[in-house]
Structure 1
Amino acid sequence: MGNYSDNRRRFIKQSSVAMGGLAISNISSPLDIFSQNSTIADPIRLGFVGIGGRGSYHLDVALGMEGVLVPAICEIKPERLYQAKRWIEESGQPTPRLYDKGLTDFKRLCEEETLDAIICSTSWEWHAPVCLAAMKNDKHAVSEVPIILTVDEAWELVETSEKTGKWATLALEQAMLESSDGLALLNMVQKGLFGEILHTEGGYVHDLRFVKNNPAEEPWRLAYDVTHNGNLYPDHPMNRIMAYENINHGDRLEHLISMSSKAVMLHEYAELNYGRNSEQGKIEFKQGDVNTTLIRTANGRLITLNYDTNTPHPRELFRLQGTKGVYLGGSALDGPKIYLEGLSPEEHEWEPAAKYLEEYKHPVIKNYNPTPRKSALRGHGGNSNTTPLTWHLLVNALREKKMPYFDVYDSVTSSVVFPLSNLSVANNGKSVDVPDFTKGKWKTRPPMTIG
């Protein structure tokens, strides 16, 4: 029995190495996007619509990048508008033009300004309208998540992009790019280390009860818990899962089913903090505390998305299962884990993933060495003192006049889980078809290439 096991492990290990070599030969080298010798010709001109927590973060990033100008800003709250104006002036740029005449003044900005792109960080219902106004006025658009709230908005963004030649994207919302581990895992997937990917599980599992009930934070989120019931925030897990499973690039989302638990936690939170007879305590919530959405792809892969922002818990786990092994990550673990059949030292036992993540560090990360900033970034996005990789990739795409790697088709596909999961929940978990926004092009589109 021992000889059989040893021979089996040796055969699997040799097969894995051979297949990995075949996969490596088909991957092109990334662009040298971080060359310090490149010449910046015309500056990239950006307009900002919405300058709250996330918008101010993006603005601060842009103001610290060479060759990026911010000539115009739009915001409905005066304190945010004038804070942004002050930041721009303090950075040494000219005083921006201010657009503050109501909720739709972004349309006037898009019509009057000569800009390369609009950065949209408004509340959710304005994301698609801002993107459409930008594209219809010869500007690209970059949105916070979700980029759309309805299937009709998704189709309108795709058709407007195809008609105008301008794009709308979630290029700045790539969780996969927030750490080197996400890109290393993509490198491992594309080099065949896990074999064929069969199932990926992730989610937005983040206790936001305080945030939803705090007027100084994001109370607008609470309104969606009253009116919706489904996965209201699919993009954070989806933007990495789509890359790992080649969604829209050799495979596509085919149909989904979604179910939610009962809704009790927000009501309980309101009663405990405001009283049973308070205005908050009388609110009826539609959104179930825990939602799970299961998606099947055209090629037979599965995706499990978990959404829970109402219960007490640490952050979520992430799991990727292939025919040759499995990866498990997340802040709840003592470091990410991995099991590769025939390669891991013990059969059916986890081992630390650190050595693999280092060995397969993505070439883009190896070439990523931005000059440290003088101070930490402000706004909602962390206090790092380096320019995020997402912003380097975005500005590079604008300079080279090309679509970001996560394009308009990928962006609307990621966000459309929002309305489709709500539809499935409303119909007792009935299966709902996912539109093919690529209109068949997914069959021949190459895998996502970062760089």
Structure 2
Amino acid sequence: MSDKRGFPRRSFLKTLGSLTAGLAAFPAMASSQVSAPRRPANARYMGGFSAPKLDNVKIAIIGVGARGPTHVEHIAACEGTEIVAICDLYEDLCNFSRGIALRTAPQRHANLKLYFGDPHAYRKMLIETRPDAVWIVTPWEWHAPMAVDAMNAGAHAFVEVPMATSLADLWKIVDTSEQTGRHCMMLENVNYGREELMFLNMCRQHVFGEILHGEAAYIHELRDQMDQLEAGRGSGFWRVHHRAGTNGNLYPTHGLGPVAQYMSLVRQDDNFRRLVSFSSPARNNALYAKQKYKPNSPVNTIDFSGGTDLNTSIIKTLRGRTIMVQWDESTPRPYSRHNLIQGTHGVGAGFPNRLALDYCWNTATPALRKLLQLPESAPDKSSDYHAWIEGGGFDAFYAYFDHPLYKRMEAIGQKYGGHGGMDAIMNFRLIECLREGLPLDQNVYEGAFWSSVAPLSVKSVQADGQPQDFPDFTRGNWKTTQRLEIVS
């Protein structure tokens, strides 16, 4: 028996039955290097894949704790969507998010069903509601099994970062996407930030010249998540354990995703080759726990020595370009994603936003001549690339290089928000692609490569900085995948 999309119901039930009953609570990110197996005969390459149009997208959401309600609000507000189910361990969280959906568009989401109380309730949800797409907003160790189950159920899977925590699980996701013909996209919202989109536009217009180097980071002091561990609920309840027991870069994709798209990695221009990684000693989490919590607190029973305060990794691409990637959730310092892209004509950087460009009158476009205040009377004199263009000078570049997608969806971002609007732009754009049958802006292979930095960094740190090669999740097909152009 098959449904209207041709998915065998019996096959899905058999797949669910074959899965193990439970998952390890906090599996280590390290995994053996996985070589590229031969693509099965019944599978297809998913780079540039366009799924059939969906006039009405039936959507289920798994996980409505910290991030989930934001996704619920955005999806509920999108025309052509119907939220058919919400699933979480906790009934109160399900009811809260159902209220958001019903307040936003009560008629379209009137038949929304709730599933709660069982970690595996989502499997029943997939069988009973048959969604077209599933948003997975759960602890990291659940991302891979839930994405695989969703695709095997005939749904497209959209997974919060990281896509998975081991190379083996990333291969499972890639193989399942290829075998089912279903999208699996990592919900890397930072790729939809205004500055990131503008830098992408500037890269595509060759403003920075030939791209040579990038810098990416997730520097975000999150020690107060220990409060949730004491409460026994919330993202800190599980995330603190990852920080305590994993020595590497736990969260690479927020900074790396945009830089990888600037460089057009995993597409026809270039690809990841290898990585080296080093970590600092682990000090700040234990100090914080001792200073803030009582000696008998569950926080002070955790051994944080197996983690790190700061990890630095260097990626080398096949074309010889370099990317520095840093991760730090433990030290007292301001937030940063670095967001730096360096080329032969200059550099763009974030936190704070700034530019430095090397142009003279004869090499600059009319827009750059005006922005750089180049004198026509001295055509051989270069712009002052020894000083940063910041503040109002940087803001002037928006008029010429704001990304067309951002300009079209700016009002949506301002209305619905989420990290300055990037969440809303991402979700509205994603649903737009599903409804119009367009390729997604991020394919399954990009999510796999970006996420693989975590387990590879762990292996490199364990080996005292020995280089670790990236597996080729595309099996060589990245060479034929067109780069992401400037969509309007």
Give the TM interval when normalised to the shorter protein: 0.7 to 0.9
Q: Contact conserved, 1:135 with 1:164, CA < 8 A, in 2?
A: yes
| Counterpart-to-counterpart distance in 2, 1:128 and 1:295 | 24
The alignment status of 1:421 with 2:457, answered yes or no, reads yes
| Counterpart-to-counterpart distance in 2, 1:270 and 1:145 | 26
The alignment status of 1:102 with 2:114, answered yes or no, reads no
The alignment status of 1:159 with 2:167, answered yes or no, reads no
Q: Tell me the secondary structure at the aligned position of residue 357 of structure 2.
A: strand
Show the counterpart of 1:364. 405
Q: Contact conserved, 2:259 with 2:340, CA < 8 A, in 1?
A: no
Spell out structure 1 runs of 4+ moving beyond 6 A. none
Cα distance, 1:329 vs structure 2: 1.4
Structure 1, unmatched stretches of 5+, are 1-39
Show the counterpart of 2:251. 233
The alignment status of 1:449 with 2:449, answered yes or no, reads no
Cα distance, 1:275 vs structure 2: 4.2
Q: Tell me the secondary structure at the aligned position of residue 388 of structure 1.
A: helix
Quick one: which of 211, 218, 229 aligns to 2:235? Answer: 218
Cα distance, 1:349 vs structure 2: 2.4
Q: Contact conserved, 2:403 with 2:486, CA < 8 A, in 1?
A: no
Matches within 5 A, 1:189-208: 189-208=203-222
Cα distance, 1:291 vs structure 2: 0.5
Show the counterpart of 1:300. 320
The alignment status of 1:45 with 2:83, answered yes or no, reads no
Quick one: which of 69, 75, 80 aligns to 1:67? Answer: 80
Structure 1 vs Structure 2 CA RMSD? 2.2
Matches within 5 A, 1:70-149: 70-90=83-103, 91-92=105-106, 93-149=109-165
Give the TM-score normalised by structure 1.
Answer: 0.84
| Counterpart-to-counterpart distance in 2, 1:409 and 1:212 | 33
Cα distance, 1:256 vs structure 2: 0.2
Structure 2, unmatched stretches of 5+, are 1-52, 365-371, 373-382
| Counterpart-to-counterpart distance in 2, 1:84 and 1:348 | 51
| Counterpart-to-counterpart distance in 2, 1:358 and 1:151 | 42
Q: Tell me the secondary structure at the aligned position of residue 207 of structure 1.
A: coil
Q: Contact conserved, 1:206 with 1:309, CA < 8 A, in 2?
A: yes
| Counterpart-to-counterpart distance in 2, 1:329 and 1:369 | 20
The alignment status of 1:328 with 2:349, answered yes or no, reads yes
The alignment status of 1:273 with 2:292, answered yes or no, reads yes
Count of matched residue pairs: 402
- CA separation of 1:275 and 1:167: change in aligned 2, threshold 3 A: same
| Counterpart-to-counterpart distance in 1, 2:250 and 2:72 | 26
Give the TM-score normalised by structure 2.
Answer: 0.78
Cα distance, 1:183 vs structure 2: 1.2
1:187-221 CA-to-partner distances (Å, cap 9, x unmatched) read 11111111111110010000101124433652211
Matches within 5 A, 1:249-260: 249=267, 250-260=269-279
Which shows bigger deviation, 305-314 or 186-195?
186-195
Show the counterpart of 1:25. none
Q: Contact conserved, 2:346 with 2:385, CA < 8 A, in 1?
A: no
Q: Contact conserved, 2:356 with 2:388, CA < 8 A, in 1?
A: yes
Show the counterpart of 1:400. 436
Cα distance, 1:320 vs structure 2: 1.2
Quick one: which of 276, 288, 308 aligns to 1:288? Answer: 308
Q: Contact conserved, 1:212 with 1:218, CA < 8 A, in 2?
A: no
Q: Tell me the secondary structure at the aligned position of residue 70 of structure 1.
A: strand
Q: Contact conserved, 2:167 with 2:455, CA < 8 A, in 1?
A: yes
| Counterpart-to-counterpart distance in 2, 1:99 and 1:198 | 49
| Counterpart-to-counterpart distance in 2, 1:447 and 1:382 | 26
Q: Tell me the secondary structure at the aligned position of residue 403 of structure 1.
A: coil
Q: Contact conserved, 2:84 with 2:111, CA < 8 A, in 1?
A: yes
Matches within 5 A, 1:377-396: 381-382=418-419, 388-396=424-432
Identity of aligned residues (%): 31
| Counterpart-to-counterpart distance in 1, 2:207 and 2:168 | 39
